[in-house]
Structure 1
């Protein structure tokens, strides 16, 4: 097959859903919710643009089942009391041109945003930049049903599938990680125990949505933190997922621990987790996707041609060029023009891309983007404003 054939051959998931090509807009925290957990017009337009741009699927990052453990005050909350019409509009317009729109089911746990949350994780922690309580046994027992209820709502409102988020240091990732998880009950200690909550969530979600609806799992190849989940254990988790009705394993890595390096800070170029995916291929029958570090069409083609993955997740590339999939399909194969930042402030690069997302959503990306300091100031100012709306709507942290 020629290079475009490799990327633009449809992929049939185990549940029967067909992706029109192998290029997926990976989950990002777009921070475009209205502060009350509902989609805004710009957010709906954003996902419409990615659909019009030819992506096979797009993931809406960090959709919460509860307002109590949100990652940011711009997150969506899909639960009783949400505005169904706004969510239906997002689902309808985000599935233009045959794009699949999947919701990423989130729970920030220990990483919950302090102004609107009382953070709790697997274990109580008091570390520089991170303090949280421990979830009780009763709180843990209630989580699978809560994830499942949100998945059921997503299906009813017209979304194409759901992703169980067990990566990047959020709650299910915290349970997997020996750094965060110091429990001595059935949810701590051995890898089997640390995996238990994730498996229970997957099973509950599958029961809620039935056999013909996509259930994706996002998993860290490595936490990239000393004492965290490492590759050999992550491979064992991949193998254990083979007994679950999963349609795609989305492999990523890194943890949003205060001060920690991101996956994009690693040395060297090229996709970050393709080598791990090659190892994972021998441990599972499930389709695989790798997310992180894909910048060129050649990167994507090589990962698929080599058999490492079945699909490629791109995030920042789709932020720079929302119609990237259509450009590559039509033979315009050049890579996006990734900006280079020297000595960025902590959080500055994330803020820059988030504000670039806002420009896309408002159809005004022709302007010069702000510098990192200005982007960070705008990002933090918006979070403060939406945190006030969130607290007024949902009440103070419990």
Structure 2
């Protein structure tokens, strides 16, 4: 085990929690729960494997805080007390291997295909149609916003009761909290729209409600964009998002994880190749789109694949384009997600002061022992950024769908079980 002088394996504090290393499992939708949002043995097995790899911190896939915030079938929920026993079993499995576990809390907002999520309505900050899915949204009233503040606080309390070590609010990638922050999707003229102070009010009220319930020591972190990546639309640039992060730190968030983009942006959040990804989408979640959009996607899939491959080529640490500006202004930990695959790249990002920690998703799907293998300089299945797993999210379980990488993963797990 060669970890001497490595910045990647030094302790880091998030609030009152001390973690032994700085490579985390970021949130990826598991697509393993029941249709009603209850945990299953498949969810337990998914996270137990990653915990067995000695991963210091695991963040769940997005957990819906209320039924109208659900984004897809087979998504975990924390919308009712009856979910607590199942969530507790998942937490216990992670804790049995010494891992720390955060629940990512989310409301999908306008980025929902109602028929896919079996949702009668899509809520957002304003009634701005989603150009990718064609979903027409309904602007939340102030009373409905206050209801959702309570839903987030209720969900956080349930997660604490289930044994989670902290929660993460999902305010990246164009979901509801991101929709409130972004002027393109927030055109309100009341106390939740206009200035940054107003557009961040929803976030701050949620955090305050959680603090009232759970006290000052329960870690609450936030995931947000480093850039909205919305050309020709009124999306937020890095400097404006840094200003928002300063507001969030002042409000009491314990760390920030930096991602990029909305659904309308395309694929800047999962750089790589997209032939397998788009084929799986056409067969899965996108098959629930209105017929004209399904037809367009089927007909133009080769062209969309070519354009995506050119625009979003795979590279390590692509959100390091943004994190140094956050590091400059924040004293809380800055976590960078985005294509990390090698120890050298992760160590350099931290050693050069571009971030305090890194997180990965697809790499852990390909190799649940990714952390241990990186730490001990051992070989393991290596994600090739084909994004087959991304294409299946919400329709099939989060799994490696690249034939040779999956075969290597299966062989590794068979050896581990022998």
1:278 maps to what in 2? 324
Structure 1 counterpart of 2:345, from 299, 314, 319:
299
1:123 matched to 2:129: no
Cα 1:359–1:319 shift into 2, 3 Å: closer
Cα 1:83–1:201 shift into 2, 3 Å: closer
1:13 maps to what in 2? 14
Instruction: String of CA shifts for 1:333-372, please: whole Å, max 9, x gaps.
Output: x58533365xx8xxx5512577573479xxx954899xxx
Aligned length: 358
Structure 1 counterpart of 2:267, from 257, 261, 268:
261
Secondary structure at 1:105's aligned position in 2? strand
Question: Residues 295 and 335 of structure 1 are in contact (CA less than 8 Å); yes or no, is this contact kept in structure 2?
Answer: no
Alignment of 1:234-253 (within 5 A): 234-253=241-260
1:205 matched to 2:210: yes
| d(CA) in 1 for partners of 2:384, 2:314 | 16
Instruction: String of CA shifts for 1:240-260, please: whole Å, max 9, x gaps.
Output: 122122211111111123x72
| d(CA) in 1 for partners of 2:337, 2:385 | 20
Cα 1:335–1:244 shift into 2, 3 Å: farther
Secondary structure at 1:29's aligned position in 2? coil
Question: Residues 88 and 158 of structure 1 are in contact (CA less than 8 Å); yes or no, is this contact kept in structure 2?
Answer: yes
Cα 1:93–1:349 shift into 2, 3 Å: closer
What is the TM-score when the length of structure 1 is the normalising length?
Answer: 0.84
| d(CA) in 1 for partners of 2:393, 2:72 | 15
Alignment of 1:217-236 (within 5 A): 217-226=222-231, 227-236=234-243
Question: Residues 60 and 102 of structure 1 are in contact (CA less than 8 Å); yes or no, is this contact kept in structure 2?
Answer: yes
1:42 maps to what in 2? 42
Question: Residues 314 and 385 of structure 2 are in contact (CA less than 8 Å); yes or no, is this contact kept in structure 1?
Answer: no
Q: Which residues of structure 1 form unaligned runs of 5+?
A: 370-398
Q: How far apart are residue 158 of structure 1 and its match?
A: 0.7
| d(CA) in 2 for partners of 1:48, 1:193 | 41
Cα 1:4–1:95 shift into 2, 3 Å: farther
Question: Residues 228 and 262 of structure 2 are in contact (CA less than 8 Å); yes or no, is this contact kept in structure 1?
Answer: yes
Structure 2 counterpart of 1:319, from 338, 342, 365:
365
Question: Residues 32 and 397 of structure 2 are in contact (CA less than 8 Å); yes or no, is this contact kept in structure 1?
Answer: no
Instruction: String of CA shifts for 1:285-327, please: whole Å, max 9, x gaps.
Output: 1111011121211111011111222211110111111101111
Question: Residues 319 and 353 of structure 1 are in contact (CA less than 8 Å); yes or no, is this contact kept in structure 2?
Answer: no
Instruction: String of CA shifts for 1:217-244, please: whole Å, max 9, x gaps.
Output: 1111111112212111101111112212
Question: Residues 54 and 99 of structure 1 are in contact (CA less than 8 Å); yes or no, is this contact kept in structure 2?
Answer: yes
Deviates more, 1:167-176 or 1:187-196: 187-196
Question: Residues 29 and 398 of structure 2 are in contact (CA less than 8 Å); yes or no, is this contact kept in structure 1?
Answer: no
Alignment of 1:64-79 (within 5 A): 64-79=64-79
1:192 maps to what in 2? 197
Cα 1:179–1:53 shift into 2, 3 Å: same
Instruction: String of CA shifts for 1:269-300, please: whole Å, max 9, x gaps.
Output: 22122232111112111111011121211111
Instruction: String of CA shifts for 1:364-383, please: whole Å, max 9, x gaps.
Output: 954899xxxxxxxxxxxxxx
Question: Residues 32 and 358 of structure 1 are in contact (CA less than 8 Å); yes or no, is this contact kept in structure 2?
Answer: no
Q: How far apart are residue 195 of structure 1 and its match?
A: 1.2
Instruction: String of CA shifts for 1:67-116, please: whole Å, max 9, x gaps.
Output: 11211111111133423321110110022332111100110011134121
What is the TM-score when the length of structure 2 is the normalising length?
Answer: 0.80
